[in-house]
Amino acid sequence: MISIVHVIDGLGWAGMEHMVASLVRCIDKKRFKVTLLSEIPMRDSVVEQAAFLEKEGVRVRFLQKHHRKKFLAIEYARFFNDLKPQVVHSHSGVWRDSCIGAVLAKVPLLFHTEHGRVFLDDNRRTRLTHRILTQFRSGIISVSDELRQFLIEEVHLPVAKVITIQNGIDTDKYMPGNYKSRLRDELGISPETVIVMAVGRINPVKDYETLVHAVSLVKHFLPNNMEFKTVIVGPETRDHLTGGGLLDRLRELSRKFNVEKNLIFLGKRTDVQELLRVADIFVQTSLTEGLSMSIMEAMSTALPTVVTDVGGNRELVEHRVTGFLTHRKDPESIANALLKLIEDDEMRVSMGKKARNCIVEKFSLQAMTKKYEDLYMESLRE
C-alpha cells in the first residue's frame, strides 16, 4: 500500500481546505494509505471535521510547532522520518517548510498543488524560493490553466514540471432541491423576493465593498414592484495581514448606500449546500481566484452566476450561457448582470440548468480524484 501525506496549513471549511479534505476522503483506500497533516494545531472549530475524516479512513495529524518558526522544516522532517511516506503532497501556504522537511527526510516523491496567486503576487523573494525548491519536486499542480500560465510566465517555474488538474466537487451533495420554504422563513425572506447569494470568507481578496456598491445600483434601477436580498455567507477573516474589522466597514458602507435592508450577513454556516438551494443567483466579486470551489458548488446547484473575470473563473463560467463574467472592481458591470437575471426568471432557469450540466460533465470529484491517483501511480512507476 502506498503511503501519502497531504500537508495543509490548517483544517477548515474554506475552498482550498474543503477541496483537500474531499480529495483525501475519496482517494482509494485499498491502494493508498492517506494522512492529512495540518501545520496549525487542533482547534475546537475543526474537531468535527477531523473526526469525520478519521471515519472515512484518513489519518489526521497536527504538526507540533516549535516556538521559533525557523525550526518548522525540522519538525516536518521528524514527522516524515517517523511515517516514511512514499509521497508528500503540499498545498498552497505550506509549500516551503514541508518541502524542505521532505527533502531532509529523503521522501521519494514531492508534489505541490498551487490553489491561487495570493502567496506569489508581487513577491520576488517568495517566487525565487519557489523556483529553487521546485528542483526537488516531482511536479507542481495548478488548479486552472490560467494559474499554470502564471506559474510558468511570471514565477518562471519549468514548463515540464507544471501540470493542471482542475478542482472537482461532489455533484450529488450540491444539487438542486426544494429547501426554499423552510430556510426563507428562517431568513425572513418572502417567497417572491429574489435571493442573490455570495459564499466566501470576508477578507480583502473577496472585495465585498464592490458588491455592496453594486447592490446599491441594483436597488436604484430595479423596478419598485420587485424585491431582492443579497445574502453573504462566510466568517470574517482576522489575521496578522487583515487585522479584522472588515465586516464593520461593510455594514457601515451598506448604511452609507442605504442598502442595509437589502444585505444579510450570515457569518459562518455549515449548511452551505442547503443555503444555495434557497438562492436564485450566485455572485462573486473576487480580485483573484484559483479555481473557485464556491462557484462550482453554486453551478452544481443549478444557479446562474455573476463573477469577476479573474483567475480560473473563465474556465468555469461561459459568458451569457451559464452566467456573466464581469470586470473586477466594477460595480456597474456587476449590477447590470444582476439586473438582467433578477428581472428575467426564464434566463435564470435556463442558465442554471446549463451550469449544472457543465459541472456534472467536467468537474466532478470522482474525475479529479482519479487524476491525482493516476499521477501518483505513474510517478512511482517511473
Q: Which secondary structure element, helix H or strand E, spans residue 3, and what is its range?
A: strand 2-8
CA 135, CA 162: separation in Å to the nearest integer? 12
Is residue 342 within 8 A of residue 141, CB to CB? The reply is no
Q: What are the beta bridge partners of residue 35?
A: 5, 59
Note whether residue 209 is domain-resident. yes
Reported pTM: 0.83
List, for residues 258-301, the tens digit of each pLDDT value.
999 999 999 988 889 999 999 999 999 999 888 899 999 999 99
Note whether residue 174 is domain-resident. no
Are 155 and 18 in the same domain? yes
State the DSSP code for 159: G
CA 98, CA 104: separation in Å to the nearest integer? 10
Note whether residue 98 is domain-resident. yes
Enter the C-alpha cell of residue 287.
Answer: 480580485
Number of structural domains found in the chain: 2
List, for residues 174-195, the tens digit of each pLDDT value.
999 766 667 788 888 988 999 9
Note whether residue 76 is domain-resident. yes
Are 348 and 204 in the same domain? yes
Q: In angstroms, what CA-CA distances link 350 with 175, 222, 304, 344?
A: 15, 21, 8, 10
Query: Which stretches of the chain are DSSP H helices?
Result: 15-26, 47-55, 72-83, 95-104, 124-134, 145-153, 180-187, 208-221, 246-256, 272-278, 293-300, 313-316, 331-343, 345-362, 365-381
pLDDT value of position 378: 92
Is residue 60 within 8 A of residue 38, CB to CB? The reply is yes
CATH code: domain of residue 134: 3.40.50.2000
Residue range(s) defining the domain that contains residue 201: 180-362
Note whether residue 173 is domain-resident. no
Are 153 and 297 in the same domain? no
CA 97, CA 211: separation in Å to the nearest integer? 37
Are 124 and 147 in the same domain? yes
Are 231 and 162 in the same domain? no
Neighbour tally for 273: CB within 10 Å: 16
Is residue 154 within 8 A of residue 174, CB to CB? The reply is no
Are 87 and 97 in the same domain? yes
List, for residues 325-362, the tens digit of each pLDDT value.
999 999 999 999 999 999 999 999 999 999 999 999 99
Are 163 and 192 in the same domain? no
List, for residues 21-66, the tens digit of each pLDDT value.
889 999 999 999 999 998 876 666 677 777 888 888 989 888 865 5
Are 195 and 145 in the same domain? no
Are 219 and 138 in the same domain? no
